[in-house]
């Protein structure tokens, strides 16, 4: 990696990684792997699983999926904003980041630290793992998970720091082994995409061959396919999205109206019928006031708020409208016991992937080179679990859910775009949807209008290293 001594070396000298299976109600058991682990290959399945669990620990950090990465997808979108309360996300919202910006630096460091951990697993010779043939099969599966997690990390870096959909030809630096002294340039967009796809396909092959199942708080084979679907949708490879949707369709269920809010809650972690992939948190690993929920909550910082125009798009008989609370002139996704994020502060599992997203991916993919009939079927499958009967003032049913579905005879991209907004609100995807569609991404009036600033800055600690081939993104001070 491009002299990531400041990032990865520290993480390996005192690498905190989770050990063992983690249930929805148990806290992580953690241990330190000191320098001796770095100096020799991993020798056991336990060590490999520990480094994989360490990657999950990096992902749940507040600077990654625990908060900031999700916020980036929302504050630069048409559905939510940062109101700048307590100063959070001011530079992101106003396109005022510099090469030393803490958001750009901390997320960059956290994702590459996660990649360093999985690279240790990927570069282990599984044939030399101690134990039985079954142990080595488990080790192959862990290595498959590592490939999948590296693909996710590269994809996330690509969306933030790469130049796809923001102008330019550059992707990201692609370290494929742990080497803090290496100097590597940024790959092109095409090279970055090729590596992400290679890692996903390698993971798919290994995890299919040695499939041992697993819970929702780890990257299972189904979770891998779902994350691949997200990536290929971003790329615009609709054929692959159709295939992946077909593979996952029917393996989970869309949350019913009465269950929807509960599926986001602490008590349902790992058990929700629509949950495909979650990051386990637990009480001892709680992110507390640095959590995403606290930024969203009117009872917390109240920094991330829903636009009034977004709230207005929900019909009164749409169960999702109740997940948004109007309060003091603003609209919140968390308020007391209401909303998507309602339970113990920072201790909820982090919902990485829900079945509803897969269904929406399927609608879009079928509308682009597939079957309009199948797109409509997916669309109605979702709406059938989101709409309530329409009643008159006396409580008499004027239009049943089935009547409302029967009135929908086709679906188009405009309908799909609005439905993604309604269903996935607050889940960190909207900015990337707008950019891949080529739709406008609103900016505050005081924001810098330079389109080069759509991509995050490459941190100065990367571009200032003597002899580095890493170049910055245009428009920044490095």
Token digits for 312?
């207005």
Residues 98, 476 contacting (CB under 8 angstroms): yes
Average pLDDT for residues 421-433, to the nearest whole number?
98
Question: Across all residues in the chain, what is the average pLDDT?
Answer: 90
103, 93 contact by CB (below 8 A):
no
Tokens of 228: 């691949």
Which of 115-119, 143-147, 334-338 shows the lowest per-residue confidence on average (mean pLDDT)?
334-338
CATH assignment of 4-463, among 3.40.50.1220, 3.40.630.30, 3.40.50.720, 1.25.40.390: 1.25.40.390
pLDDT (0 to 100) of residue 345: 62
| Helix (H), strand (E) at residue 382 | helix 372-383
* Three-state DSSP class for residue 4: helix
With beta carbons less than 8 A apart as the criterion, state whether 80 and 304 touch: yes
Task: Quick: pLDDT tens for 130-168.
Answer: 999 999 999 999 999 999 999 999 999 999 999 999 999
List the helix and strand counts (H, then E) for the chain.
19, 12
pLDDT recorded at residue 269: 58
Q: Are strands 304-306 and 80-82 parallel, antiparallel or unpaired?
A: antiparallel
Query: Taking Cα atoms as reference points, which of 298, 289, 294, 293 lies closest to residue 331?
Result: 298
C-alpha to C-alpha distance for 32 and 12, rounded to whole angstroms: 9
Cβ atoms within 10 Å of 137's Cβ, excluding its own: 17
Q: Is 276 helix (H, G, I), strand (E, B) or coil?
A: strand
The model carries a pTM of 0.92
**Residue 11: per-residue pLDDT:** 38
Domain residue ranges of the chain, discontinuous segments joined by +: 4-463
β-strand 338-339 against 334-335: which pairing, if any?
antiparallel
Q: Is 188 helix (H, G, I), strand (E, B) or coil?
A: strand
Between CA 249 and CA 355 the distance in angstroms is 9
């Amino acid at each position: 990696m491009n002299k990531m001594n400041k990032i990865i070396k520290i993480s390996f000298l005192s690498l905190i990684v989770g050990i063992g299976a983690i249930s929805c109600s148990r806290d992580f058991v953690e241990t330190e792997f000191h320098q001796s682990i770095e100096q020799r290959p991993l020798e056991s399945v336990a060590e490999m699983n520990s480094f994989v669990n360490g990657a999950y620990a990096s992902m749940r950090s507040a600077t990654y999926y625990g908060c900031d990465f999700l916020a980036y997808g929302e504050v630069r979108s048409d559905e939510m904003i940062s109101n700048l309360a307590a100063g959070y996300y001011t530079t992101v919202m106003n396109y005022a980041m510099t090469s030393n910006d803490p958001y750009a630096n901390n997320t960059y460091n956290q994702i590459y630290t996660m990649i360093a951990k999985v690279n240790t697993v990927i570069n282990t010779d599984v044939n030399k793992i101690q134990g039985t043939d079954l142990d080595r099969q488990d080790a192959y599966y862990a290595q498959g998970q590592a490939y999948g997690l590296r693909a996710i990390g590269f994809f996330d870096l690509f969306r933030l720091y790469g130049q796809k959909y923001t102008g330019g030809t550059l992707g990201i630096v692609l370290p494929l082994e742990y080497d803090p002294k290496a100097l590597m340039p940024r790959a092109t967009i095409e090279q970055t995409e090729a590596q992400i796809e290679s890692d996903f396909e390698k993971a798919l092959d290994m995890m299919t061959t040695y499939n041992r199942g697993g819970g929702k708080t780890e990257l299972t084979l189904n979770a891998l396919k779902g994350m691949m679907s997200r990536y290929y949708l971003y790329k615009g490879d609709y054929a692959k999205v159709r295939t992946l949707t077909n593979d996952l369709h029917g393996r989970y269920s869309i949350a019913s109206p009465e269950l929807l809010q509960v599926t986001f809650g602490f008590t349902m972690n790992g058990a929700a019928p629509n949950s495909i992939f979650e990051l386990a948190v637990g009480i001892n690993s709680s992110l507390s006031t640095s959590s995403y929920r606290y930024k969203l909550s009117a009872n917390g910082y109240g920094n991330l708020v829903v636009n009034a125009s977004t709230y207005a798009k929900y019909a009164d008989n749409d169960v999702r409208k109740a997940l948004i609370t109007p309060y003091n002139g603003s609209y919140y996704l968390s308020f007391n016991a209401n909303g998507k994020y309602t339970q113990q502060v920072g201790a909820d599992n982090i919902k990485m992937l829900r079945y509803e997203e897969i269904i929406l991916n399927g609608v879009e993919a079928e509308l682009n080179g597939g079957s309009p009939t199948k797109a409509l079927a997916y669309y109605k499958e979702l709406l059938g679990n989101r709409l309530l009967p329409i009643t008159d003032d006396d409580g008499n049913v004027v239009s049943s859910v089935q009547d409302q579905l029967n009135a929908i005879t086709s679906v188009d991209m405009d309908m799909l775009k609005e439905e993604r907004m309604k269903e996935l609100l607050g889940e960190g995807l909207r900015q990337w949807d707008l950019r891949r569609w080529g739709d406008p991404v609103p900016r505050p009036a005081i924001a810098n209008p330079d389109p080069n600033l759509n991509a995050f800055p490459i941190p100065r600690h990367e571009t200032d290293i003597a002899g580095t081939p890493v170049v910055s993104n245009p428009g920044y001070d490095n």
